[in-house]
Structure 1
Amino acid sequence: MLASEFKTKVLPLSSKLMRFASQLLHDQDQAQDIIQDVFLKLWQKKDQLAQVENMEAFAMRMTRNRCLDLFKAKKPVLAQDDFMKQKAVASSDLQQQIELSESALLVRQIIRDLPDIQRTVMHLRDIEQYEYDEIAQMTDLTVNAIRVNLSRARKKVRDELIKQNDGK
């Protein structure tokens, strides 16, 4: 693969990879480091990339694996909830934004507490809008396993939200 092909086939994936890594790590700086590392490894293997059928799925899997390696190394991961706080301050209806912000933070916390595979499948399907077949390529799961994990993740989030709202 030539540099021009790399620029047209691999580099455009950076925003999707960044969102995915940020969601898994909850740390923008670590996510950027992961993406930089993934691109470096892809560049080093540029001669073998012609054999890759789906470059996007391949890069997503590399990103996921690198994030999991980081978790296994027990490196601290910090959540970045400042974005939601900044959004609330910028709004004209501050009270409504605070309520939405609190709900969004609660949902993010519930999702964060899901098992890794459920969190990953939920992110890929509901946030990144990937098809089940694409998720299967990225995660080495069957489509049925993806559906089951997604269903369980959504049910857990729904049940926890209901439980939290009933407690108020």
Structure 2
Amino acid sequence: MCLYIVNSFEDMDEKSFEHIAGRLRDRAVAQARRFGLDIADAEDIAQDVMLRMWQMRGDLDRFRSPEALAMTIARRQVLNSFRRRPPESMDAVPADLASIAYGPLEDIEDKDNEEWLAARLARLPETWHTILYMRQVERCSGSEIAARLGIKESSVRTLLARARKILLEKMKERR
């Protein structure tokens, strides 16, 4: 295997870029696969990485390692792809869970969990409880909640996050 070494990335042409591109592309695919993407999505990420690396070829000498730069770009591309995906619905129950028969012990545990959660919800400040109820039960959007309560949408997001955080902390303590 012969590697073509470039003294300066500024002088990099298409041929010299091709010599390092294969290695960078393989590493970008592997990076994307580590995040759980299927092969097709990982290939798309790698393609985006290679395009970005080609666009930056004149500035690559500012970085210590083109491999590290490619991995950083790949990681950011993967995270951006996750952000663009619509949230998955939690309404659908997987078929294997729907067929489980619950017995008396599970009924008692469910009742105990419901009572515990109801008590924790009752201890939340009224506004937090209202926002959480409107979002989780009534399925209102942030803008709808803001309009109905007469507050800013950013306040809705903040209060909703705080309420969820408090409940999550209490759940962790309970275990």
TM norm. shorter chain > 0.5: no
Scaled by the length of structure 1, the TM-score of the pair is: 0.43
> Which structure has the greater CA radius of gyration?
2
Higher relative contact order (CA 8 A, sep 6+): 1
Scaled by the length of structure 2, the TM-score of the pair is: 0.41
